[in-house]
Amino acid sequence: MIEDVVELSSQLVAIDSVNPSLVDGGAGEAEAAALVARWARDNGLEAQVLEDTPGRPSVLVTARGSGDGHTLLLCGHLDTVNVEGMADPHTPRIEGDRLFGRGAYDMKSGVASALIACREAAKLGLAGDVVVAAVADEEHASLGVQEALRAVRADAAIVTEPTELELVVAHKGFVWAEIEIRGRAAHGSRPHLGVDAIVKAGPVLSALGALDGALAERTHPRLGRGSVHASLIRGGEEL
């Protein structure tokens, strides 16, 4: 069975699925999703392709039970981050007991493991369903998992992200906020005609820093402190 996981992981790694929302021209998940759907059907499993966002498909793979049991969802993502600075990123290679290639760790091996587990579950005569959600866009806006959760209901779920073999039972959420500060461009010799939006951003940044400090004073027993930061700022036209 380990050999099957290695083989399927290698097939997935060999497919370029760089997230196009992160990298202009990224290949996206279409080819990887097609492989998952084809593999599932070849192994006697149901496969449903979801694609509310054109070009960003996810796949639900199901080992159908007898119908009177609980549903277990196994979830993993097909997209990867960029391949900048990597030599032959989509050529899987094994060195010792490790598989290398973009996405091998995060998280095509997790997807492969979930699919193999689903295949084996189909042989057990279970009462409930085992469903694998191989989703798009985890690395950006989680479009795929949102779509998957509209299509399947589960009693429990396991996300097969790499965790250094630790059992993870809690996870921080996140929110992105975009703040626009408007000004008026003017020449430096005519300041009365302008409004300096960059200077006005200063108090906003200071307030974010103060909020981060306040969050540090409250901690969660499993997740530690919350945090907020300014990850990107743009403004101005020229010197």
138 is known as an active-site residue: yes
HEC string for 188-233: CCCHHHCECHHHHHHHHHHHHHHHHHHHCCCEECCCEECCCCCCCC
Asked whether 225 and 216 are in contact (CB, 8 A), the reply is yes
Is residue 68 part of the annotated active site? The answer reads no
**Active-site option among 29, 129, 137, 138:** 138
Report whether 120 contacts 29 (CB < 8 A).
Answer: no
Catalytic residue among 79, 129, 137, 139: 79
Residue 40 has φ and ψ, to the nearest 5°, of: -60, -50
Whether the link from the prior residue into 86 is cis, omega within 30° of 0, is: no
Q: Specify whether the CB–CB gap between 162 and 105 falls below 8 A.
A: yes
List the catalytic residues.
79, 138
